[in-house]
Amino acid sequence: MTTRCAGKIALVTGTSRGLGKAIAQRLAAEGAVVALTARTMEPDPKYVGSLSQTLSEITEAGGAAIAVPADLSDPEQRAELFAEVVDRLGAPDILVNNAAVTFLRPLDTFPDKRVRLMFEMHVLAPLHLAQLSIPAMRERGSGWILNVTSVAGDLPDGPPFSEFDVSAGFGVYGMVKAAQNRMTKSLAAELFTDGIAVNAAAPSHPVATPGAGTLDLAKTDTEDISLITETAFRLCTGDPETLTGRIAHTQPFLREVGWLS
């Protein structure tokens, strides 16, 4: 373990598995006390991973963490989650919005209920948790907010359009990630003079996590999960005066900072 994040409290969402779990483990290894949250508290045969498993792995490695289950699509549960984290640990210095729900389907047949759920999880929940976190960050004069986004938020090239853009069903996913990116930029601008860094990080290529496997997203052209954890770590610890307002794709960003050649 190192001490780069010693004395810091980090709230990381979607930490029962995948990218959120890896980011939480990295922040804990750097000395942060991490509040973990997701819906799956105990192991369930329907899913890979749980909050209790992530918590055990962090503590067994010498880190400090708590686990608070919550359904982040519910505004009341978001508020209750945040209040419990503050009560048990204090207000977070670092907020990582990673929790997600993803459905892939052409736009003309996309069910309204699922559209609304995806906007709730990818846009409204991150904004709500940021709004809850900002007052204490502003009072301290420092803070870091990171949204885990996707290259799907970039506009597709065309016309002509690739077969992937035509058939993959990423329209709604791209919309919510584009909105998340715009929110990131706006918050970064609004909070710049408060010493609060707001950034977004996206894997340059799919990462072979359980969720990506379920959606058949990571069979080829994948990248190691260490790239997103390194990117997240740097964006959650960088100087808010110079490292804010970034929509950082892992590989270009890590080459820029000299971590990748």
Residue 121, classified by CB atoms within 10 Å of its CB into exposed (0-12), middle (13-18) or buried (19+), is buried
Establish whether 173 is a catalytic residue.
yes
Closest CA to 146 of 195, 98, 204: 98
Radius of gyration of the chain (CA): 17
Q: Are 118 and 101 in contact (CB under 8 A)?
A: yes
Helices of type H across the chain: 18-29, 51-60, 75-88, 112-119, 125-140, 163-167, 171-191, 210-214, 226-235, 250-256
Q: Which of 173, 229, 253, 254 is catalytic?
A: 173
The 8-class DSSP code of residue 161 comes to P
Residues assigned a catalytic role: 173
